[in-house]
Structure 1
Amino acid sequence: MKLPLGNSLRARLLFFLLASILVAAVAQGVVAYRSTLQQTDQIFDAQLVSTATSLTAGDGLLSASPMPSIDAAPADDLIIQIWTASGARLFKSRTGKLLPDPVVLGFSDVRVDTSTYRVYAVASPFQVTQVAQDMKVRRDTARALALRTLVPIAAVAPLLMLVVWFVVGTSLRPLRRARAELAARQPEALDPVDESGLPDEILPLVRELNLLLDRTRHAFALQRRFVGDAAHELRSPLAALRLQLQALQRPGDAEAHQVALQRLASGIERASRLIEQLLSMARHDAAAEALPAQRVDLGEVARQAIADVLAEANAHDMDIGMDGAAHAWVRGNSDALALLLRNLLDNAIKYTPSGGRIDIILEPTPGGARLLVDDSGPGVPEAERERVFDRFYRLANHDEVGSGLGLSIVRAIAERHGATVRLDQAPQLGGLRVQVDFPALS
């Protein structure tokens, strides 16, 4: 049977607690009532025994002269009859209220007219004494005493219900406060919910909610930064494309149009590369905590990356080689590691003069694995080796036009894999060496 309480925790707590108090009070009242009735019966029976015993004389004094009847006794008085051993009635306490014969020794219930009497009879060598009491009088008196025992229970139960109502309401007040705080928030408000005063049962839920809000705030910050970066970086290429298009629209000779077309194609290629890198950066920023961890062979990743950039390297008459260990196993995401290596190779191809050389070296280390990418280009001055990892930072006095995102993406992917990236001078080729140290495979 489904109770009409909905999903309200407060309603359920109050219903079951108040119902439990009510059921307990009723059960206690029933037990107390029945116990009081039973004890009252025992007291009245003891009174009958005591009265009969006190009226029974062992020396036969009552048989000497009959005792007069007591006509003025109240209705709830005891009915007393005394008989001689031969059966003659010596005493009766009330006229018209004679108990029938025969006399039954001990306790018995006797029906007289419409009334029932509780009778106790005791015999001695000289007389038989009967003491009786109307059961109605006994029941009324016993019920009055029993009802008195219910008064404290009836008074305490509502008071206890009020206490439970107050305690439940007070205990759930921090939850209502948190709910009101969330309901009053604007959609862009992602500050953590106040955890002070929350009960231990609700605190883990609110903490998880705060973690979710923190991740959402971080995602929104990344999104805003991406939009700002994209708007800033795309402004220049688009302006350049507009200028090239205007140059094509102006009348001129075929050679000028050919130069404008080449510049337009080059500008489109740069804009496409910038957009691709921006999207890659945004995708890996958003997936910072969702990279699946698996065993990845850096050797296989390097061979695939070489195949991806081989056409561009051949166009620049560059030699790409691979040395060192054939395999190096790390734990991470193969797609992200492939993007890391492609960015390193793209940078090397872009900044290395035509006819140059690029080497990829894999080395197992006691702490994991090491990836080295050496080129024969001009390298990076030591003073700027840390700054080139900043987004959109480009070296000054350099002919190549880039987005300044390649090494930033490399460092972001490396950090998500627990790896470190360091720039140095290539010992043999003389250009830039990019060293990526991966942790041990766990």
Structure 2
Amino acid sequence: MKNRIFYIVLLLFLGLAAHTNAQADKWTGTWRMEYKPWPGRPPLIIELQVGLPGQQTLYPALLKLDYGNTFHGVYELLLATKSITQLGIGRFKYPVSETPFRLGPWMLYLNGTFNYGKPANGAAYMQLSRMWIKDFGLFMKGLDEDDEIYTSTKVTLRGLLYQDSIRLKKINAQPWTGPHTNRIIHPEEDSVYFGIYDKVITADSVVQLSIKDDDQLDKDTVTLVHNGRVLLHRMEMNDQTREQRIHLDTGMNILTFFADNYGGLPPNTGNMRITTEGKTHVFDFAHRANWYATYLVAQFYRKPTAPTAAIKALPPPTTTRKNESLTSFTVRQADIILELWDAQQEDGDSISLRLNNNWIATGLPVKKAVQQIKISLQPGENTLLFMADNLGSIPPNTAALRIRFGTQAKTLELKTDFQRNNLVKIVYEPPAQP
């Protein structure tokens, strides 16, 4: 009986530890503040709910503005990692609902970055640092439209968005999930533009990058982040093209191109071009859809390389290795996303993945940067097999795995070697036909 109780307590502890680890990201959760510029009136409540990141760098989020009975607005937006303490704020805020009037272009003022802070004794907070917009003809637009009874409310909202301090306090660590969470970070699934360009698939391990200001020279500066690593920091652009080669990670590469300022002649007009497989892809702040954006996101998916001779020489897992089952669960959608990364020390680990009877990746290096693989399930039971190609410099072969399906996700730890594979069973139950 004592042993049974011990194991129950141990399982509960391990489950709690796994849950805590899954929620360890400091940005995910709900952040809130009360804005009260006028005495005797109810406060305007600002709430920002941040979801789990895609590629550990792009965060879907939901912004809510509630001002008593006079205004209610809900907006979807994208946040992007600029540094360990900064999240860039996407230009476009999709209005899920607004009543009794629309804020329209005023939401452009909510730009720049959220800067993370945590006092020694207190809750974490995000402080807004704006990039100033001037001479854009937005400040007074719409103030006297609709009905004059809303003028006071509009003045309050405009002041908040345009110039007043915004400091959000973290109130919980529960990641936001919603019906549109996935579409924000996966633009191929929807037509709403949150600043992410369509994915480019390439076999090149190295691509050519060039950055230039094609407009008037006015001290525009830019920052470039590749899968969480800063490649360029506050680089001032001029009429000389800056060029360099970028080594792509296997799998998904997120290149986030930040405008650090709007220069002397707003907006920032930086132009980034990336050439791969003989084709040049352009990402331009001067495009009308990107005017006064904080950042643009380029996606380059590098296809895994073919199996090497060393991998082919490994003994078949079905004859010499034991398949160790990690979990089994049921999903309602056929397309799911695998995210793999090294949560410990990057030590040269390489793995291969098999879905049912088909190898979907071989010789895949396990890196600190998250790599995404999208797979399609067949109805019924599906088997995912993870096989070590090597043991790295620190045995065993280890990797963190997150499986995304719809608005949910499961995080697992992979441990494989030449004696054991890891096995995950996923049962796909298609929705019932009406």
| TM-score clears 0.5 | no
Q: Which is strand-richer, 1 or 2?
A: 2
TM range (shorter): under 0.3
Higher Rg: 1
**Of the two structures, which has the highest relative contact order with CA contacts closer than 8 Å and spacing of 6 or more?**
2
Q: Which is helix-richer, 1 or 2?
A: 1
